[in-house]
Amino acid sequence: MKNIKQSFHRHGRAGSYHYNQQREMPQPANGRLHDEHTPLIGRTQNYEDESRVKTIPKHVLHLIYATLASNYVNVFLIFVPLGIIAGALHWNPTVVFVLNFIAIIPLAALLSFATEELSAKLGQTLGGLMNATFGNAVELIVSIVALKQGEIRIVQASMLGSILSNILLVLGCCFLAAGLTQHESRFNETVASTMSSLMAVASASLIVPATLYAVMHGDNKKDNLETDKNILVLSHGTAIILLILYILYLYFQLYSHHSLFADVENQEGGDNEEEAQILSPVAAGVALVIVTVLVAVCAEFLVDSIDSIVESAHISKTFVGLVLIPIVGNAAEHVTAVIVAYKGKMDLAINVAIGSSLQIALFVTPFLVILGWIMGQPMTLHFQGFETMIFFISVLIVNYLIQDGKSNYLEGAMCIGIYAIIALAFYIYPDNAAGDITVDVVKRFFAVN
């Protein structure tokens, strides 16, 4: 009687089973099987190994395709190699600036996508911390590159520009988009009030150094050098305090008053249910590292070409940092905020707009001050008086608009209009503006009193 060996092999998502029969043939004395039966021996395991090897490239290609299809702005990824080649081969600075400017936009979207994919696997606490850390990674990378090259004006302008674009342009577009579908939109005024209060604290952190500089500034160059040192010390201390406040805010949001942010998380949960997770933690981590490196390379070429673009286009570095660079870092995030606002998810939209501004004001800017301290760069919180006044007025307007927990399209149009006026003002504002408005205002105030 011939022996029959039965083996079952499971494979595929459906869990189908295949029944295979292998005859056990008598073994000759020389240890070799008959030729007609040789192909039937040991082929099953080989087929499995071959199928696994063939599946790996297909799986990788599927992940790459799914990642690229996650956002429509990824069609601009073609500009990434073009921008790197243009910078490496020292093409015309204007061409280098434009190519790398466009290249960073899809890279920012991919960076945000990889961060969300990875944070979703880390749980609520670690995921929240990661989103808070990498929420403005592009602005941070570009600013670090500029800080390394001593472009303090670019760094300060990009920080201020990111805040203004979020609290005026993005928030205004959200109000306007929501007004197209709803007569009046409502949102959690407690959360909005908490965020706006922190923004007021952030504005005070800029007003205090500017006012102190105005009081201590004089005509004696030696005294002015001492004033600059004192402002630097004040900025270092203020930066540490702001970072502590940001940590307390994260604890407030993630732990002690977690229930206040339940509406935002419910709206995020609705979006997550529509979109399944695509990348594994390892794949998301690898993507995060690769995209971060590409952003750093493109940012290096972008910053290197700013001087030439300023001379050829007759615009100021302040305008480049305040208006253009924030567009690069936040374009995809801005579109997302407007889309969710159009769908009526105002709590989520406000959290994206004002929350991103808080990250810039309480984390990124103080971090850059501390980093400049380590690198030996005089990065301070002393912004020019005109910039400080613009920031204070913008925060004041936004606080007034969101204090009632309601919005409409007219309020959105007001925010957009104010941002357009500010952008126009900085377009004609020169980098070498001689006077500081804060100095004159403070001196006149003390002269009257």
Q: What is the pLDDT of residues 37-85, one digit of tens each?
A: 444 444 445 544 555 445 556 666 766 766 676 667 788 889 999 999 9
Which of 4-18, 92-106, 351-365 has the weakest average pLDDT?
4-18
**13 domain residue, yes or no:** no
The DSSP call for residue 169 is I
Per-residue pLDDT band at 342 (split at 50, 70, 90): confident
Look at the chain and report how many structural domains it folds into. 1
Domain around 125: 57-448
**369 domain residue, yes or no:** yes
**20 domain residue, yes or no:** no
The stretches of 217-305 forming alpha helices (DSSP H) are: 221-251, 262-274, 281-304
Instruction: Quickly tell me which residue has 């972008």 as its tokens.
Output: 302
Per-residue pLDDT band at 7 (split at 50, 70, 90): very low
Gap between the Cα atoms of 74 and 103, Å rounded: 9
Look at strands 4-11 and 185-186 and give their pairing: unpaired
Whole-model pTM: value is: 0.77
**296 domain residue, yes or no:** yes
Angle between helices 346-359 and 385-402 (to 10 degrees): 160
* Backbone Cα Rg of the chain: 29
**44 domain residue, yes or no:** no
**378 domain residue, yes or no:** yes
Q: In degrees rounded to 5, what are phi and psi of residue 52?
A: -65, -45
**51 domain residue, yes or no:** no
**7 domain residue, yes or no:** no
| Model pLDDT, residue 420 | 94
